[in-house]
Every structure is written in structure tokens, then in C-alpha cells.
Amino acid sequence: MSGITLVSNRGFTLEGQTGQDAPLNIRGMTVSYGQMPAVYSIDLKVKSGSIFGILGPNGAGKSTLLKAAMGILPVVSGQISFFGKPLKEARHQVAYVPQRTSVDWDFPATVYDVVIMGLYPSLGLLRRISKSDKAKVAESLSKVGMQDFSDRQIGQLSGGQQQRVFLARSLVQQADVFLLDEPFAGVDAATESAIMLVLQNLQAEQKTIVVVHHDLSTVTTYFDHLFLINRQSIAYGPVGEVFTKENLTKAYGGKLGSTQLGTIGL
Amino acid sequence: MLWSALSLSLGYNATLVTLGSSLLGAAAGMAGTFLYLSNKALISDAISHATLPGLGLAFLMARGFGWDERQLAILLTGSAASAALGLYFVTLLTQKTRLTQDTAIGCVLSVFFAFGVVLLTIIQTVPGGRKAGLESFLLGSTAGMLYSDALLILILSLFTTLLLLVFLRPIKLITFDASYGETLGFSSRRVEILVLFVALAVTVLGMKIVGLILIVALLIIPAVSARFWSEKVDVIFLISAGFGMISGYIGSTISAISPSLPTGPIIVLCSFGVFLTSFIFAPQRGILAVALNHHRFQKTVHLTQGLLLVAQGQSIYEPKTHRLLRRLGYVRADGVATEVGNSMAAKTLLNERRWSHWNKLVRDSDQFDDQTVFSLMDIEKKLTQDQINMIDQGLVQKQQGQV
Ligand SMILES: Nc1ncnc2c1ncn2[C@@H]1O[C@H](COP(=O)(O)OP(=O)(O)O)[C@@H](O)[C@H]1O
Ligand SMILES: [Mg+2]
């Protein structure tokens, strides 16, 4: 399973990069809650410097895929590497942005408190928070347009603001690859474009961005590469090749009406 | 008497007991903060009830080996071991079966407690067992507490407090967002075990002073009370420690003055007093503040709506609004606006126009803050003079456009 081309068990070809140092490389990954696999035998190689979309219907295993890649969930089988190294050695290069709804926003914390959590690995247990640490937090907050909200209680944020805070928390990590789970779910239009701008700026800095996504209408404008999943790999490659009616029907099955396909121009 | 007790001059032993109770209270308040914030308050009840069989077995074993069966360290070690076993069963039942955590806690708690009660009954029937004083572990008693016991509690409370302080960052992180914490390299399992370990230590240490039935109160009530006073977890953590400390201090002092009063219930009642005070008087979250804020808000709504009607020359039908405007001298009894009323109305209308223009400007831009886009607030206090000038220019242009 090495070299330029990978052949997955489903029989289609994965145009990989040469070398094994892709920002994220998943081989034969199966993750399961109990007996039924939530994702099955996934092969995935994320191209360096891309904005990479992971697309599939509800319950397709997109969040599971990200969580397993990040070591939050155990895998039944498969290998995961970041830049050719196991996660343990590449942790400082990888930032994860969980689904906004995965935490209790009534937790007593301010925006600042949440964002500085991204610096905990470098702060360790007891190191004092320095001026430059605070500056990093302020810089990340201003990148997402939240500089005036530093002292705001997180329970008082709107959905879009919560998402920006999560993004800011990942930005302070100064990672090389970012994995975001549904960053556009339930956010306002202003936030969606602000987040997309941040991601594009990251791409301009040679960073790699992996985004779990659900809105078909924005796929072609947001992503350059795409991975279609419905528990198993459906298709993989440049957006232009993957985002086709056949593939979408394969991934979404009956859930996708012809009107929906019509509105996205397929 | 009271003063000498409060000022810790009631003798070396009593002083040590009071210090021990205070530090235990602080440790319980700290550990409880994280149990409460991660919705695990009930687990401390499982821990405390699961100590009982260990207590009885430790007593019997010590006697069998011919040790001093009333040595606190021996009894607490036994209690800790059986509480740990109880915790393990709760975790096992929750993970391996479809039982929810509260159900698992209910099962483990009752079975362990039943077993413990049977053991204690047996101990009472063996010769000399009646004097064991194990009942005092149920409701706590500082009467006749040994110097070495108090010292043990003091030192271990200090240790658990330090442990929590050292690991504060990972604990906060995992309590708020365990998955994310994992991706940063912090083990959520280890942090959970740490918090449970501290809760277990506090429970076991508290058995002698507060008693195992009421220790859950000492873990949870200070944290819940502290939540009323702050929105920052660090601050809540410290306030909760302070509340626990005060309760332990006052409770053990009262109990030192009149040794017939049970220490545990007194400490818990003190902490309930702290809770009640917080519940009523805390700024922002206390019920008084909430009621006051609601009243103020309602008044603002009525005032704004009423003045807008005045500005548009319409009648005010809502009696409450009418009464309010009359009381403020903005309208006369017949409903006609006074001079002050008219100028206030003009002001309100301008505020409303400025806000609605601002809303249009920001709706599609990135300058958003859904806290301030209501005309109930004075725009001059929310926006800068430059922004208001810009809005006013826009309003002027709009008017010229309409003409
Ligand atoms: N904690 C869990 N326990 C059991 N099943 C789960 C759990 N989380 C997700 N699943 C199941 O795994 C499947 C994939 O879930 P998920 O990865 O969240 O999908 P997606 O993010 O694509 O909507 C779903 O069928 C879901 O019901
Ligand atoms: Mg999901």
C-alpha cells in the first residue's frame, strides 16, 4: 500500500501524493460503536495546502472519522499518520475544532478563558500566563472578528460567535493542519464568510484544512478537494471530479431529491 | 466561650479540629466544583455510602490482628478501599451495560450501604463492639477526636487541595471539553480519575467530622452556592473553597462549644445558610437581582413603547404603560403629553430611528453583536460618537431622498 497510487478496497483509485508525509494519511480505518461499524475501511490522504471537504449525509460517520483521526475514539483497525508520524509525535502540528454543540455553553468561562485553552500544552501545569501568551489570544480573537468579546461570558454568545471562539482557540495552537467538524452548521451568513476567509488565509500560509461539511450548495466554492463518505468511502479527489450527480446519489441515496440536485447545478 | 472558640484559643486539640474541619471544607468545596460542573454530583453519594462495609471490615480485621481497632488511619483505609470498589462498580455498570449513571449509582449505593449496616450490626453484638463508636461515622462527631486524628485530616486535606491546584488547568479543560482536551494530549480518563480520587479522599476524610450520610452536602452545596457569584470557573473554584472553609470552621466551632450537637449536621446547616444567602442576594444570579432586573426591563419596555406612541401622536391603551408615563409626569390624566413628555418622546423616537438604521448597516457586515441591536438601549451609551454621526448622516440622506 505505498507509492504514488493507492487502490482502496472499493476499487477506485486514490491519487495520492508521492511520499508518506501527507498532512493526514488514513489507511484502512474502521471505527465502531459496539458491533456495527460507524465508518468502515476508510482510505484517505489529504493533500498538503488544500481546503479539503468531507461530505456525506447525517450519520454517515463524518464526525466519527475526525474523532478517530484525532485519537478521541479508538479504532478497530487502521493506521493514521500526520506528516508521516503518529499523532503522538505530531500533536503540536494538528488542531481540532469540535462541533459547536458538543459542549455545554453554560460552563462558567469567558471567551478569553476558552481561547487560552489552546495554549495549555505549551503552558503546562503551572507556568504563568505571559504577556506574549495574552497577545496570541488577542491576535486569534481579532482574526475571527471577536476582539471586543474577550471578557464576554460564553453563555451569552450567539451560535456564530461560539463557532468563532472555537476557531480562535484552534488558531492559537499555531498548527499546520486544521480539522473542523461542521464549522458552518447553524451560524449566520456573516460568520460563515468570516470563517471561510480565515480558512483561506490559513491556506495562503501553506496550512492544510479539513472541513466536515453538509451544505451542498457551497461545496464547489469552498473546497478544492473532496471526500464523499457514507460509512464507506464513496469518492475522493479534486472537487470537479468528485462532485457529480452519480457520486452524490451514491452517497446520499434517496435522501437527495432531484430538486436539490437542480439547485446546486447538477 | 464563643469568642475563644472562634479565635482558635480553646485549647490545642479543639484548635486542630477546627483547622482540620476548615481545610476539609475547602478541599470539599474545590473537588465539588468540578463534580458539579461535570454533572457528577451524585457520584459523591455513591462514594460515601460505599465506605460503610470497608469501615466495618477494617474494624473487624484490626481486631482480628490484635491492632487498636479504633485507629482512624486503619478505619479510613478500609473505607477508602471499599469506596474505590464501589466507584469501580459504578463505572463498570455504566460502561458495560445500558444502565445510566444515576441508575448504576442507585444500585451500588444501596447494596454497599445495606452490607455495611449488616456489618455494623454484627459488630455491635460482639463483646466490646458496642463501644466501637462506629455510629459516629454516620453523622460525624468531633467530640473526643484525638490529636493524631485531627492532624491526619489536616494534612491529607492540605494534600488534596494542593493536588487540585496543581492540576487545575487539565481539570478545567477536560470538564469543559473532554474531546478537545484529548486532542491537546491531556487524558480525560486520568483527569476524571483524579477528580474522583480527590472526591473519594475528601469523603473518607470527612467521615469522622461530617459523617458519611451528609458528606455529599459538603461537596456540592458550596459549589452550587459559589456558582451564584461568578461566571469564571477559577473564581467559582476559590469561592467554593472559601464557602466550604467557612462552613467547616463555624460548624466545628459550634460543636466545640456544645459537644452534644452533632458536628456533621451543624456544618451542613451552616453551608445551607451560605447557599440561602447566595440564592437570595447574589448580584446578577440571585433571585432578588433577577426579580429587580426583570422589573427594570419591563419598565424600560413600557416606557419605550409608550413614548414611541406619544411621538407618533397615538393613544396609549395599555393601562400599565399609561400609569408609568403619568407617574413620571410625561402625560396628563387625560392622556395628553406634557412638555417633558414630548421632549422625551422625541428623544426615544430618534434613538429608535438611529438603531434601526444601524441595524440595516451592520446586518450584512461583520460588525455584529446581537446584544446591542435593540432600541431599548440608549444608543449614545453603546456606540461611539463617530458611529452616531455616521448614522445621523445616513438618516439625513434618507430624509432628503424621500422629499
Ligand atoms: N457515541 C455513540 N454511540 C453509539 N453510536 C454512535 C455514537 N456516536 C455516533 N454514533 C452513530 O455512528 C454513526 C455515525 O455518526 P457521526 O459520525 O456522528 O455521523 P455524522 O457526523 O456524519 O453525522 C451514526 O449512525 C450514529 O448514530
Ligand atoms: Mg457530525
Where in chain B is CATH 1.10.3470.10? Answer: 2-281
Helix residue spans in B210-318 (DSSP H): 215-227, 233-257, 263-281, 287-311
pLDDT at site A142: 95
Task: State chain B's mean pLDDT as an integer.
Answer: 87
pLDDT band at A179; cut points 50, 70, 90: very high
Residues 82-141 on A with a CB inside 8 Å of B are: 91, 94-96, 98, 102-104, 107-110, 113-114, 117-118, 120-121, 123, 125-126
**Taking chain B, what is the end-to-end CA distance rounded to the nearest angstrom?**
85
User: Based on C-alpha coordinates, what's the Rg of chain B?
Assistant: 30
Give which of A175, A244, A241 is closest to A205, Cα–Cα: A175
Is A101 a residue whose pLDDT tops 90? yes
In this structure, what C-alpha cell is assigned to residue A221?
466554492
CB B202 within 8 A of CB B215: yes
Residue pLDDT, tens place only, B316-345: 888 888 889 889 889 888 878 888 989 999
**Which of A113, A167, A174 should be substituted to probe chain B, the one whose Cβ sees the most B Cβ atoms within 10 Å?**
A113
In chain B, what's the furthest Cα-to-Cα distance? 105
Question: B227 and A160 in contact by Cβ < 8 A?
Answer: no
Compute the average pLDDT of residues A157-165: 93
In this structure, what C-alpha cell is assigned to residue B226?
459559589
A59 lines ligand 1 (CB under 6 A): yes
CA of A181 to the centre of ligand 2 (A): 7
Q: Which residues pair with A37 in a beta bridge?
A: A32
pLDDT at site B367: 53
**Min CA distance, A7 vs chain B (Å)?**
30
pLDDT band at B363; cut points 50, 70, 90: low
Alpha-carbon distance of B72 to B74, in angstroms, equals: 5
pLDDT at site B225: 97
In this structure, what C-alpha cell is assigned to residue A66?
475526525
Compute the average pLDDT of residues A163-171: 97
pLDDT band at B27; cut points 50, 70, 90: very high
CATH superfamily of B2-281: ABC transporter involved in vitamin B12 uptake, BtuC (1.10.3470.10)
Give which of A49, A72, A8 is closest to A232, Cα–Cα: A8
**Min CA distance, A252 vs chain B (Å)?**
28
DSSP helix/strand/coil, A13: strand
CB B105 within 8 A of CB B45: yes
Helix residue spans in B38-167 (DSSP H): 43-65, 72-96, 101-125, 136-139, 147-166
Residue, of A1 and A42, whose pLDDT is higher: A42
Chain B touched by A204 (CB under 8 Å): no
- ipTM entry: 0.89
pLDDT band at A16; cut points 50, 70, 90: very low
pLDDT at site A205: 95
Alpha-carbon distance of B223 to B240, in angstroms, equals: 5
Q: CA dihedral defined by A83, A85, A89, A95, rounded to 10 degrees?
A: 40
Give residue for cell 488534596: B160
pLDDT at site A100: 93
Instruction: Report which listed range, A91-95, A185-189, A245-249, B40-44, is most confident.
Output: A91-95
pLDDT at site A222: 95
pLDDT band at A4; cut points 50, 70, 90: very low
CB B263 within 8 A of CB B141: yes
Task: Give the angle B274-B275-B276 at the CA atoms, nearest 5°.
Answer: 95
Residue type, B311: A
Question: A117 and B177 in contact by Cβ < 8 A?
Answer: yes
Mutate to test the pocket of ligand 1, among A29, A31, A33, A231 (most ligand atoms within 8 A of CB): A33
Alpha-carbon distance of B101 to B164, in angstroms, equals: 24
CA of A60 to the centre of ligand 1 (A): 8
Residue pLDDT, tens place only, B245-293: 999 999 888 888 887 888 889 999 999 999 999 999 999 889 999 999 9
pLDDT at site B5: 64
Give residue for cell 476508510: A42
Alpha-carbon distance of B156 to B203, in angstroms, equals: 12
pLDDT at site A263: 61
CB B302 within 8 A of CB B277: no
* HSE value, Cβ hemisphere, 13 Å, CA-based, for B192: 16
Within 8 A of B369 by CB-CB distance, chain A residues are 148-149
**Which of B97, B98, B165, B184 should be substituted to probe chain A, the one whose Cβ sees the most A Cβ atoms within 10 Å?**
B184
Residue pLDDT, tens place only, B110-147: 999 999 999 988 888 877 655 667 888 888 887 777 78
Compute the average pLDDT of residues B12-41: 88
Q: Cα–chain-centroid distance for residue B84?
A: 25
pLDDT at site A260: 63
* HSE value, Cβ hemisphere, 13 Å, CA-based, for A71: 21
pLDDT band at B390; cut points 50, 70, 90: confident
Q: CA dihedral defined by B9, B10, B11, B15, rounded to 10 degrees?
A: -70
Alpha-carbon distance of B187 to A19, in angstroms, equals: 32
Ligand 1 atom having least distance to the Cα of A62: 22
- A109, closest residue in chain B (CA to CA): B232
Residue pLDDT, tens place only, A203-220: 999 999 999 998 888 999
DSSP helix/strand/coil, A237: strand
Alpha-carbon distance of B135 to B120, in angstroms, equals: 8
Give which of B21, B283, B291, B307 is closest to B151, Cα–Cα: B21
Of B176, B179, B365, the CB nearest to A109: B176
pLDDT at site B39: 86
CB A253 within 8 A of CB A60: no
pLDDT at site A207: 96
Q: Which residues pair with A33 in a beta bridge?
A: A36
Give residue for cell 402625560: B331
Compute the average pLDDT of residues A78-89: 94
Give which of B310, B316, B375 is closest to B339, Cα–Cα: B310
Q: pTM score, two decimals?
A: 0.86
In this structure, what C-alpha cell is assigned to residue B184?
491537546
Ligand 1 atom having least distance to the Cα of A229: 22
Residue pLDDT, tens place only, B50-75: 999 999 999 888 888 877 767 888 89
pLDDT at site B332: 86
